[in-house]
A and B are shown apart, each in its own frame.
Chain A
Amino acid sequence: MLDDFMTRATLAGIGVAFAAAPLGCFVVWRRMAYFGDATAHAAILGVALSLTFQLSVFAGALAVALAMALTVTLLSGRGYAMDTLLGVLAHSALAFGLVAVSFLSGVRIDLMAYLFGDILAVSRSDLIVIWGGAALVVVLIAWRWSQLLTATLNEELAYASGFDPKREQLILTLCLAVTVAVAIKVVGVLLIAAMLIIPAAASRSLARSPESMALIAAVIGAFSTAAGLRAAYMFDTPAGPSIVCVAAILFACFSLLGWQTRRGA
Chain B
Amino acid sequence: MTLITVENLSVRYGANTVLRHVDMTVEAGEIVTIVGPNGSGKTSLLRAIIGAAKPSAGLVSLKPGLKIGYVPQKLHIDPTLPISVERFMRLTDRVSGKQCEEALEVAGVSDLLKRQMSQLSGGQFQRVLLARALINRPDVLLLDEATQGLDQPGSAAFYRQIEEVRRETGSAILMISHELHVVMSASDRVICLNGHVCCEGSPAVVASAPEYRALFGTGTGGALALYRHDHDHDHDHCETSREAAE
Binding site for B on A (CB under 8 A): 28-31, 146, 149-150, 152-157, 159-161, 201, 204, 207-210, 212-213
In the bound complex, do residue A152 and residue B81 qualify as a contact, i.e. CB atoms below 8 Å apart? yes
Distance (Å) between the CB of A36 and the closest chain B CB? 15
Residues of A within 8 A of B82 (CB): 204, 207-210, 212-213
- Assess whether B220 is interfacial by the CB under 8 Å rule: no
Closest to A207 in B: B82
A-B contacts, 5 listed (Cβ < 8 Å): A29-B80, A149-B91, A156-B50, A160-B52, A209-B83
Task: A204 to B77: give the CA distance in the assembly, Å.
Answer: 14
Could you list which residues of chain B lie within 8 angstroms of chain A, going by C-beta atoms? 46-47, 50-52, 68-70, 72, 75-78, 80-84, 87, 91-93, 116, 142, 144
Residue from A157, A161, A204 in contact with B75 in the complex, judged by beta carbons closer than 8 Å: A157
A146 and B92 contact, CB distance less than 8 A: yes
Within the complex, what minimum Cβ distance (angstroms) separates B18 from chain A?
A: 16
Task: Find out whether the CB atom of A156 lies under 8 angstroms from the CB atom of B144.
Answer: yes
Q: State the 4 A-B residue pairs at the shortest beta-carbon distance, nearest first.
A: A160-B70, A159-B52, A161-B92, A160-B50
What 8 new A-B contacts, CB under 8 Å, besides A204-B80, A209-B87?
Answer: A31-B78, A153-B75, A153-B91, A156-B50, A157-B75, A160-B69, A208-B84, A208-B116
Do A209 and B84 form a contact, CB below 8 Å, given A31-B78, A157-B92? yes
Shortest beta-carbon distance, A59 to chain B, in Å? 34
Most chain B beta carbons < 10 A, residue from A31, A150, A210: A210
With a cutoff of 8 Å between Cβ atoms, the chain B residues found around residue A208 in the complex are: 82, 84, 116
Contact B51 A159 (CB under 8 A): yes
Count contacts between A and B, CB distance < 8 Å: 63
- Structural contact, A160 and B80, CB atoms closer than 8 A: no
Identify A159's interface contact among B50, B81, B84, CB under 8 A. B50
In the bound complex, CA of A218 to CA of B80 (Å): 16
The interface residues of chain B lying within 8 Å CB-to-CB of A146 are: 91-92
Contact, CB under 8 Å: B52 / A156: yes
Are the CB atoms of B68 and A160 closer together than 8 Å?
Answer: yes
Contacts of B93 in A (CB 8 A): 161
Give A28 to B80 CA distance when docked, in angstroms: 7
Contacting residues, chain A, for B84 (C-beta < 8 A): 208-209
The answer to whether B78 and A29 touch across the interface, beta carbons within 8 angstroms, is yes
Chain B residues with Cβ under 8 A from A30's Cβ?
A: 78
Distance from A214 Cβ to chain B, minimum over Cβ atoms (Å): 11
Known: A208-B82, A210-B82. A159 touches B91 (CB 8 A): no
A160 and B142 contact, CB distance less than 8 A: yes
Report yes or no: A29 in contact with B50, Cβ–Cβ below 8 A.
no
Docked Cα-Cα span, A150 to B75, in Å, equals 11
Nearest CB in chain B to that of A160: its residue: B70
B119 shortest CB reach to chain A, Å: 11
- From the candidates A29, A150, A156, A210, name the one contacting B92 in the complex (CB within 8 A): A150
A215 CB to closest chain B CB (Å) equals: 12
Max chain B CB contacts within 10 Å: which of A152, A154, A156, A213? A156
A207 to B46, alpha carbons, bound, how many Å? 35
Chain B residues contacting A160 (CB-CB under 8 Å) are 50, 52, 68-70, 142
Whether the Cβ atoms of A153 and B77 lie closer than 8 Å is yes
Closest B residue to A212 by beta carbon equals B82
Q: Cα distance A30–B80 when bound, in Å?
A: 9
Closest-by-CB residue of B relative to A26 is B81
A207 vs B144: C-alpha distance in the bound complex, in angstroms? 32
- Chain A residues near B80: list those with CB within 8 A: 28-29, 201, 204
Task: Quote the shortest CB–CB distance from A76 to chain B (angstroms).
Answer: 15
- Known: A160-B142, A204-B80. Contact between A154 and B75, CB under 8 A? yes
Contacts of A209 in B (CB 8 A): 82-84, 87
Q: Which residues of B lie under 8 Å from residue A154 when comparing CB positions?
A: 72, 75-76
The distance from the CB of B42 to the nearest CB of chain A, in whole angstroms, is 13
Q: Is the CB of A150 within 8 A of B81?
A: no
User: Which of B83, B87, B142 has the most A CB atoms < 10 Å from its CB?
Assistant: B83
**Contacts A146-B92, A149-B91; A157 near B70 (Cβ below 8 A):** yes
Kindly provide the distance from the CB of A249 to the nearest chain B CB, expressed in whole angstroms: 20
Rounded to whole Å, the gap between the CB of B82 and the closest CB of chain A is 5
- Nearest Cβ distance between residue A157 and chain B, in whole angstroms? 6
Instruction: State how many angstroms separate the Cβ of B43 from the closest Cβ of chain A.
Output: 9
* A186: min CB distance to chain B, Å: 25
